């Protein structure tokens, strides 16, 4: 019999993840494990697999690696890191304020007084504020920013009428973002501090109920387009809300924080990986 893998299932604002404590390095084929466990018929089912590992950096408490259902490793995941922080804190592995190592850098995180999970993301980079695409008579205008992973953001008048799957897939693979591609977000402004977002996620290759770095990118681009001001409440496809806050000094945006809730849904063990 193959050795069993113990896992925990967590949900961060609609994004569901399988978390495996891999501090003892029992899992070495991360890609294969992620592909098999995320399958929603033959595995457990999830938007991704979080591997909690020992930090390599002396500045960090723990290390996070995240793998998508297609087996690719993501640089970062806003809702994923919030889920890992929730797990680590509630299992006594970290204090209320901590540092988590990711491919995107060592990121600060904390548990708020209300039990929310708050994470400081890496400084946004690779800005483009003049994106324009046209397909089948639909004109899309917006911007691009890397919030740990790449995101294209388009402001629209009616979010519910957007074909996120078709348009998102087309933009995700567009030559403008080759060779790695991009995540794609569609945003509707709802007020001076409120937006709604739908996201097509690279690696999942479908629309998801939420995306933490996508929510953050959407808030940043909407702010730069003078549509909203921080702190920004972001409604997601899953029906929950995340808060994005940041400081802007001159032309520089700093101290970008993502805050929201996390739920631990169940634990178990699986044998057939």
Half-sphere exposure at residue 234, Cβ-oriented, CA atoms within 13 angstroms: 38
Given 62, 64, 77, 81, the catalytic residue = 77
Pairing type for strands 5-12 and 263-270 reads antiparallel
Joined together, the tokens standing for residue 230 give 């921080």
| 189: annotated active-site residue | no
Please report, to the nearest 10 degrees, the dihedral formed by the alpha carbons of residues 237, 241, 242, 247 taken in order: 110
Span between the terminal Cα atoms of the chain, in Å: 11
Question: What is d(CA 246, CA 201) in angstroms, rounded to the nearest whole number?
Answer: 23
C-alpha distances in angstroms, 110 versus 107, 153, 193? 10, 28, 23
Q: Would the CA dihedral through 146, 16, 167, 192 be positive or negative?
A: negative
Number of neighbours of residue 62 by Cβ within 10 angstroms: 21
Q: If we measure between CA atoms, which residue out of 145, 142, 144 comes closest to residue 122?
A: 145
Q: If we measure between CA atoms, which residue out of 235, 233, 230 comes closest to residue 255?
A: 230
Joined together, the tokens standing for residue 41 give 């018929």
Question: What is d(CA 238, CA 221) in angstroms, rounded to the nearest whole number?
Answer: 21
Given 88, 211, 215, 242, the catalytic residue = 211
Residues β-bridged to residue 195: 189, 234
Residues β-bridged to residue 5: 270
Joined together, the tokens standing for residue 132 give 């324009």
Catalytic residue list: 77, 211
């Amino acid at each position: 019999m193959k050795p069993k893998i113990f896992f925990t299932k967590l949900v961060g604002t609609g994004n569901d993840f399988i978390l495996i404590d891999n501090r003892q390095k029992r899992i070495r084929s991360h890609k294969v494990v992620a592909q098999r466990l995320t399958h929603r018929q033959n595995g457990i089912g999830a938007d991704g697999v979080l591997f909690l590992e020992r930090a390599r950096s002396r500045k960090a408490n723990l290390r996070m690696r995240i793998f998508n259902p297609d087996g690719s490793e993501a640089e970062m995941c806003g809702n994923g890191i919030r889920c890992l922080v929730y797990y680590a804190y509630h299992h006594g592995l970290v204090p209320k304020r901590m540092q988590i190592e990711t491919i995107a850098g060592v990121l600060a995180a904390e548990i708020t007084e209300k039990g929310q999970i708050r994470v400081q993301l890496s400084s946004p980079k690779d800005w483009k504020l003049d994106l324009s695409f046209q397909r089948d008579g639909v004109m899309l205008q917006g911007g691009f920013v890397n919030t740990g992973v790449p995101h294209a953001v388009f402001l629209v008048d009616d979010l519910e009428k957007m074909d996120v799957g078709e348009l998102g897939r087309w933009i995700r693979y567009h030559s403008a973002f080759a060779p790695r591609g991009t995540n794609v977000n569609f945003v509707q402004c709802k007020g001076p501090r409120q937006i709604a977002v739908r996201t097509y996620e690279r690696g999942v290759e479908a629309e998801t109920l939420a995306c933490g770095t996508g929510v953050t990118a959407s808030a940043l681009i909407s702010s730069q387009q003078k549509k909203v001001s921080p702190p920004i409440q972001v409604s997601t496809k899953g029906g929950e809300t995340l808060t994005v806050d940041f400081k802007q000094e001159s032309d520089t945006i700093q101290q970008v924080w993502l805050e929201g809730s996390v739920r631990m849904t169940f634990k178990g063990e699986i044998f057939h990986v």
